[in-house]
């Protein structure tokens, strides 16, 4: 076993990536493919998206700022359509892997950039109960890739399990390289999730038991 704890991103890891829905909207609206991601990556610490995920803007403020950024780039984008694309379907294989890790006794955390605190009831609440700690940018006021939010994830996880969890103890899964880089610098073993099956095979190697195809 190379790692003894695991930290998961949510969107693009446990749930389907919103990028697929961004692309569908861009095609429907006649926008350049990849525009929404490029807007979200421009001035990544201060753009509308970053401020929204730190809870510095409400929905109306984000919509106005994001649409203004798109207009400055020469395009008309409906912020409401972009926000609707964030609701991705859960990946059953990933949830099964989380359950297998939990059954094996590994400390687990969820680390998510989001625009509002997640519900603690219903299907999402049931998912969150699988994790010892849940760290959300909209609550913390910091977001990935800011190193502070990874440190807070370690702190919350350590508090939850009653012992110190170091970055070097953990695997971290995310679908965005920009979010993996600071985690890796802190000492996490990082896995970029492109194909979930490949990612689970990599995680299986790190934890020392099979997770891909877990039931």
pLDDT tens by residue, 100-114: 999 999 999 999 999
Half-sphere exposure of 75 (CA within 13 A, CB side): 18
d(CA 35, CA 77): 9
Q: How do the domains of the chain map onto residue ranges? A: 5-16+88-207, 19-84
Same fold, 5-16+88-207 and 19-84: no
**CATH 3.40.50.150 fits domain 5-16+88-207:** no
Q: What is the pLDDT of residues 16-55, one digit of tens each?
A: 988 889 999 999 999 999 999 999 989 989 999 999 999 9
pTM, 2 dp: 0.89
The CATH number corresponding to 19-84 among 1.10.150, 3.30.980, 1.10.3470, 3.30.310 equals 1.10.150
Q: What gap in Å lies between CA 93 and CA 74, rounded to an integer?
A: 40
Percent helix, strand, coil in the chain, to 5, is 50, 10, 40
């Amino acid at each position: 076993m190379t790692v003894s704890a695991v930290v998961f991103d949510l969107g693009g890891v446990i749930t389907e990536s919103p990028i697929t829905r961004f692309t569908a909207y861009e095609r429907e609206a006649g926008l350049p493919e990849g525009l929404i991601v490029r807007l979200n990556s421009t001035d990544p610490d201060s753009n509308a998206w970053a401020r929204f995920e730190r809870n510095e803007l409400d929905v109306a403020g984000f919509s106005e700022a994001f649409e203004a950024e798109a207009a400055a780039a020469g395009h008309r984008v409906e912020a409401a359509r972009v926000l609707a694309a964030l609701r991705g379907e859960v990946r059953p294989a990933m949830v099964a892997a989380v359950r297998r890790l939990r059954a094996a006794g590994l400390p687990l955390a969820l680390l998510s950039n989001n625009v509002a605190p997640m519900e603690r009831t219903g299907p999402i609440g049931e998912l969150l109960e699988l994790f010892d700690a849940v760290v959300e940018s909209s609550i913390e006021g910091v977001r990935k890739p800011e190193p502070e939010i990874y440190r807070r994830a370690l702190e919350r996880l350590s508090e939850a399990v009653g012992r110190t969890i170091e970055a070097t103890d953990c695997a971290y899964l995310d679908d965005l390289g920009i979010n993996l880089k600071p985690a890796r610098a802190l000492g996490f073993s990082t896995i970029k999730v492109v194909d979930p099956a490949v990612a689970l095979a990599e995680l299986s190697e790190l934890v020392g038991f099979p997770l891909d195809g877990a039931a």
